[in-house]
Amino acid sequence: MPTLYIDDKPHTVGDGLNLLEACLSLGFNVPYFCWHPALGSVGACRQCAVKSFQNEQDKRGRIVMACMTAASEGTRISLDDPEVKSFRAGVIEWLMTSHPHDCPVCDEGGECHLQDMTVMCGHNYRDYRFPKRTHRNQNLGPFINHEMNRCIQCYRCVRYYRDYAGGRDFDAQGSNSRVYFGRHQDGALESEFSGNLVEVCPTGVFTDKTQKSHYTRRWDLQTAPSICVHCGAGCNITPGERYGTLRRIRNRYNGEVNGYFLCDRGRYGYEFVNGGHRARVAMRRAEPGSLVPTAKPLALPRIGSLLAGGARCIGIGSPRASLESNYALRKLVGAENFFAGVTAAHQSLTELTVHLLERGPAQTPSMREMAQADAVLVLGEDLTNTAPRIALALRQSVLNAPMKAAASMGIPDWNDGALRVVLQDQKGPFFIAAPDATRLDDIATETFRAAPDDIARLGFSVAHLLDPKAPEVPGLDENTRQLADRIAKTLAAAERPLVVSGPSLGSASVLSAAAAVANALSTETRRAGLSLTAPECNTLGAGLLGGGTLEEAERALSEGGAELVIILENDLYRRADHVFVDKLLGAAKQVILIDHTLNRTASHADYFLPAATFAEGDGTLVNSEGRGQRCIQVFMPTGDVQESWRWLRDLGAAAGKWPQTEWENIDVIVADIAAAFPMLKGVRDAAPLASFRIAGFKIPRQSHRYSGRTAMRAKMDVSEPGIPTDPDSPLTFSMEGFAGPAPASLASFFWAPGWNSVQSINKFQEEIGGALMGGDPGVRLIAPELEPGRAEYPGAIPEAFAPRPGKWMVVPMYHIHGSDEMSMLSAAVAERAPAPHIALSPEDAQLLGLGEGEMAELNIDGEILVLQVAVHAALPKGVAGLPAGLPGMEPVEIPAWGAVARRVGS
């Protein structure tokens, strides 16, 4: 813990920091541009200059760049020295020579780091009197708006896009004062993480194109801490609303989870909240297929009497609904009548996931821990498409092993420029076994392309090589054995090995094999990480609650005498083929659907109760790490919309199952959950209680500059309405409340005086880039004991994959843009989605006489899909890929054998 002297006062700081990080961590305001906590230092912008003195006697000093200088014991610097202050003001002045000063029309205005730094440096009059250089802008696709004239050439964008996120379709172009940041030609950015440019760029070059279509200034947004609902990774987000419309999603820093970055699905998938598919009032069926609005006070007693009538009622929950809502449904219908809302195949994978993670001894890591792994094995997942943010974390892990070598040369980990020179193309060990090429292949030491069973066999054989107690794989071919040997040796030599897998291939063997490797790696001194992805935002939460399968639900209706079904936030037509779902719904006398979006299932509902989206209500989600995290309501919905758990509470009350006063707020239902499920005890700590106050005040959701409060409703009513009450959180729908910085887990936005941009997060971290003050939000629910030698190796080793003549093993393929139900309702995301297709290996395509783009027929158990052919060079022979979850594609239960043929007549 070195001591620094800053303007002659001693300060103690953390080890291994540079002066910029040290000063910012101490709360000093030091301006900077090119440095970014996740990207490190390169010393390009020269904005962070400080005066450095050799010793107490040295009065002249020397200007150094804080970001490029180690904060070592006894360092003496001045931030206030007039010479260095004038240099810093000069840097701003230079950056401003060509800046258009178009803040009033710039989307970044009001949350612009360049504005903040300009004010911080005190530069306010321009001496430059010559023409500014100008640039042409590019069309970068549906997510990002490009306005190059605002660029200050800090190089963050290229460093983020290329070095950090691995994108290669964007680079610095040109030289001298005409450096340009863009693509070779116009076109959508290919990276799945392009949206982060919006936050990485310190000014308005890259801005959110979706927000542009309903633009609102940051200070006019109403915001609250929330969680992304588009996959199981559980990234923290800050959604912003105005006039009842969700305007955008911003990353919300969580040191353990997503850090500074989101994926594009998470950032741009929000528009389902605003979309035309919403229903905001209760509805009932008038005639088949048509729902008509009905008054809530009429609907509730009607459904209540149905429920009270004695007929058996079952509930179908959902992995995309909150823990509270699933629990409420389970409570309403009874555990024996509760079904998890997915097919047996999916439910068994979820159960297996939960079991493997709980059992240990391998431990489920956070994304921060994943980024710190020094050897990684990915088994069966195309992570960029199934758990995108995890892929971005893992991309960083390959730097860890070579970074050790750099450290031995005296290169600190923050010195990115030097590190890249030392590291060159060196990458730490990273193995990927998947049926097709993945977007992480570029960092892979080796890839293994095979059918799911062979992937599992590879995993099991690695486990066996690591621990002879793990079963041996019979009949393994020599190549696979040698690969397994290399993987086993590499993982065994690592300090922080990590195995990542998941259910996306629909293979229990793959999951078991991954756990076997991680368990075999865990010893007294080293605990391996085991990360299993979860397809939906609350897959794990719903999994922990248990419940029957959809098939069982169908039987309960058609054979078990159940007459009513309550479906919770679930479009069953995405879960199973329409014949089955028709049968299920047809068997029910009454279908009650609680959901926020009118989907295909809704057209079969007798009653439709409009649920709150994540932005309109409170709920807890459990991510794939097993971390319980709270979505706090961002804005008051209109109409009858309320959380599903509140609808279920109302239904229970209407049916006379409990008093009207049941679950008066979320804390009560959470306490119930904790009591009913010991595993979920921890969820009480997912967020502070609603009764939390600071100095008696609630925490505002609106900034103190929130404008138009008295005017925005004036066309309806000139008197200002009262502030809606929020029983569930300590936040208020107002700009009034506690004026100081709120605890990080409750701060609805991060702001500090002089820091209006996303970089204000500096002021809320214990140390720059570290945990949020008071701890990162969320609570880890799964923490297996480490009992060395206890490793178990469940799961049977499958037979080697044997291609069948005329048949293909059809495996699901996930698409970041395409496979997720809700994000596909955002036009921008839909634009990036692939068309329905079947992926074939070049050999198989040739065998079938099918070329790229030609039409083929896929027959799986009599289910026939007509699809375009996509030739995938990496696919092994005998394996075909089918996009998962694409709208317009009938869900089929895969992996399964299917027959492919040229479409007749084409």
Partner 1 sequence: MLTTETKNEILAELAHSETNRMACIESLKIAQRQSGWVSDEELCEVAQLLGLTPDEVDGVATFYNLIRRRPVGRHVILLCASVSCWVMGYAALRAGLAQTLGVEPGQTTPDGRFTVLENQCLGACDHAPVLMIDNDLYRDVDAEKLGDILARYA
Partner 2 sequence: MAEFNQQSDPDKRPLTAKVQPDGRPLSLKDCEKAGGYRAVRAMLGGMSPGDVTQRVKDSGLRGRGGAGFPTGSKWSFVPMGDNAPRPKYLVVNADEMEPGTFKDRLLLESDPHQLVEGVIIAAYAIQADIAYIFLRGEYVLAEERLKTALAELRAAGLVGKNILGSGCSLEVHLHTSAGRYICGEETALINALEGRRANPRSKPPFPQVCGLRGKPTIVNNVETLCNLPHILNNGADWFKGLSLTPNGGTKIYGASGKVRRPGLWELPMGTPAREILEEYAGGMRDGMKLRAIIPGGASTDFLLESQLDVPMDFDTVAQAGSRMGTGTMIVLDDQTCPVGMVHNLMRFFAHESCGWCTPCREGLPWVEKILAAMERGEGQPGDLEQLARHVTALGMGLTYCALAPGAMEPLGSGLKLFRDDFERHIRDKRCPWS
Q: Which residues bind ligand FES (CB under 6 A)?
A: 20, 32-35, 41, 43-48, 65, 67
Cα–Cα distance measured from residue 400 to residue 837, given in angstroms and rounded to the nearest whole number: 38
Q: Does 401 contact partner 2 by CB under 8 A?
A: no
Among 57, 129, 479, 691, binds partner 2 (CB under 8 A): 129
Closest approach of partner 2 to the CB of residue 131, in Å:
9
Site for ligand SF4 in 151-210 (CB under 6 A): 151-157, 181, 201-203, 205
| 377 bridge partner residues | 431, 499
Closest approach of ligand SF4 to the CB of residue 170, in Å:
10
Bridge-based pairing state of the strands 863-871 and 855-860: antiparallel
Torsion of CA 207, 212, 216, 219, to 10 degrees: 0
Token pair 């990684």 is found at: 376
The amino acid that residue 110 corresponds to is G
151 binds, options partner 2, partner 1, ligand SF4, none, Cβ within 5 to 8 A by partner type:
ligand SF4
In the bound state with ligand SF4, the residue whose beta carbon lies nearer, of 152 and 329, is 152
43 binds, options partner 2, partner 1, ligand SF4, none, Cβ within 5 to 8 A by partner type:
partner 2
In the bound state with ligand SF4, the residue whose beta carbon lies nearer, of 181 and 635, is 181
* The three-state (H, E, C) secondary structure of 45-107, written as one string: CCCCEEEEECCCCCCCCEEEEHHHCECCCCCEEECCCHHHHHHHHHHHHHHHHCCCCCHHHCC
Tell me the two tokens of residue 647.
């609808």
Closest approach of ligand SF4 to the CB of residue 151, in Å:
3
Site for partner 2 in 225-244 (CB under 8 A): none
In the bound state with partner 2, the residue whose beta carbon lies nearer, of 1 and 409, is 409
Cα–Cα distance measured from residue 567 to residue 440, given in angstroms and rounded to the nearest whole number: 38
67 binds, options partner 2, partner 1, ligand FES, none, Cβ within 5 to 8 A by partner type:
ligand FES
List, as one string, the DSSP characters of 595-641.
Answer: ESB--TGGGG-SEEEEBP-TTTS-EEEE-TT-EEEEEPP-S--STT-
Q: How many CA atoms lie within 13 A of 721 on its CB side?
A: 12
168 binds, options ligand SF4, partner 1, partner 2, none, Cβ within 5 to 8 A by partner type:
partner 1
Q: How many CA atoms lie within 13 A of 556 on its CB side?
A: 23
Closest approach of partner 1 to the CB of residue 752, in Å:
37
Cα–Cα distance measured from residue 607 to residue 582, given in angstroms and rounded to the nearest whole number: 17
Among 69, 98, 145, 194, binds partner 2 (CB under 8 A): 98
The amino acid that residue 519 corresponds to is N
Number of Cβ within a 10 Å radius of residue 704: 11
45 binds, options ligand SF4, ligand FES, partner 1, none, Cβ within 5 to 8 A by partner type:
ligand FES
173 binds, options ligand SF4, partner 1, ligand FES, none, Cβ within 5 to 8 A by partner type:
partner 1
**Binding characters for partner 2, 45-64, by CB under 8 A (x = yes):** xxx-x------------xxx
Closest approach of ligand FES to the CB of residue 535, in Å:
40
The reply to whether omega before 468 is within 30° of 0 (cis) is: no
Could you give phi then psi for residue 603, rounded to 5 degrees?
-70, -10
Footprint of partner 1 on this chain (CB under 8 A)? Answer: 168-175, 180, 183-185
In the bound state with ligand FES, the residue whose beta carbon lies nearer, of 65 and 810, is 65
Closest approach of ligand FES to the CB of residue 769, in Å:
14
The amino acid that residue 35 corresponds to is W
In the bound state with ligand FES, the residue whose beta carbon lies nearer, of 65 and 371, is 65
Nearest to 134 by CA among 180, 169, 81: 180
627 class by beta-carbon count within 10 Å (0-12 exposed, 13-18 middle, 19+ buried): buried
Nearest to 535 by CA among 506, 512, 503: 503
Site for partner 2 in 141-200 (CB under 8 A): 152-153, 155, 172, 174-179
What per-residue string of b and e applies to 832-867 under the rule 16 or more CB within 10 Å gives b?
bbeebbbbbbeebbeebebeeebebbbebeebebeb
In the bound state with ligand FES, the residue whose beta carbon lies nearer, of 46 and 630, is 46
Cα–Cα distance measured from residue 70 to residue 77, given in angstroms and rounded to the nearest whole number: 12
Q: Does 127 contact partner 2 by CB under 8 A?
A: yes
In the bound state with partner 2, the residue whose beta carbon lies nearer, of 155 and 608, is 155
409 binds, options ligand FES, partner 2, ligand SF4, none, Cβ within 5 to 8 A by partner type:
partner 2
Closest approach of partner 2 to the CB of residue 61, in Å:
11
In the bound state with ligand FES, the residue whose beta carbon lies nearer, of 203 and 732, is 203
787 class by beta-carbon count within 10 Å (0-12 exposed, 13-18 middle, 19+ buried): exposed
183 binds, options ligand FES, partner 1, partner 2, none, Cβ within 5 to 8 A by partner type:
partner 1
Closest approach of ligand FES to the CB of residue 776, in Å:
25
Closest approach of partner 1 to the CB of residue 160, in Å:
15
Q: Does 689 contact partner 2 by CB under 8 A?
A: no
Closest approach of ligand FES to the CB of residue 183, in Å:
25
Cβ neighbours of residue 462 closer than 8 Å, sequence gap 6 or more: 377, 484, 487, 488, 491, 517, 520
Closest approach of partner 1 to the CB of residue 838, in Å:
27
Q: Does 417 contact partner 2 by CB under 8 A?
A: yes
Among 97, 149, 445, 868, binds partner 2 (CB under 8 A): 97
Q: Does 115 contact partner 2 by CB under 8 A?
A: no
Contact status, residue 653 vs residue 662, Cβ threshold 8 Å: yes
Q: Applying CB under 6 A, which part among 146-154, 341-349, 480-488, 862-870 lies near ligand SF4?
A: 146-154
Closest approach of partner 2 to the CB of residue 442, in Å:
18
Contact status, residue 357 vs residue 364, Cβ threshold 8 Å: yes
Q: Does 44 contact ligand SF4 by CB under 6 A?
A: no
157 binds, options ligand SF4, partner 2, ligand FES, none, Cβ within 5 to 8 A by partner type:
ligand SF4
48 binds, options ligand SF4, partner 1, ligand FES, none, Cβ within 5 to 8 A by partner type:
ligand FES
Nearest to 352 by CA among 223, 207, 513, 237: 513
Closest approach of ligand FES to the CB of residue 580, in Å:
59
Cβ neighbours of residue 174 closer than 8 Å, sequence gap 6 or more: 180
Nearest to 381 by CA among 518, 491, 514, 521: 514
Could you give phi then psi for residue 862, rounded to 5 degrees?
85, -15
Stated as kind and residue range, the H or E segment containing 207 is: strand 206-208
Closest approach of partner 1 to the CB of residue 185, in Å:
7
In the bound state with ligand FES, the residue whose beta carbon lies nearer, of 24 and 291, is 24
In the bound state with partner 1, the residue whose beta carbon lies nearer, of 136 and 184, is 184
In the bound state with partner 1, the residue whose beta carbon lies nearer, of 443 and 565, is 443
Cα–Cα distance measured from residue 550 to residue 540, given in angstroms and rounded to the nearest whole number: 17
User: Residues in the site for ligand SF4, rule: CB under 6 A?
Assistant: 151-157, 181, 201-203, 205
Given the rule CB under 8 A, which residues bind partner 2? 42-47, 49, 62-64, 68, 87, 90-91, 94-95, 97-98, 127-130, 152-153, 155, 172, 174-179, 409-411, 415, 417-418, 421-424, 426
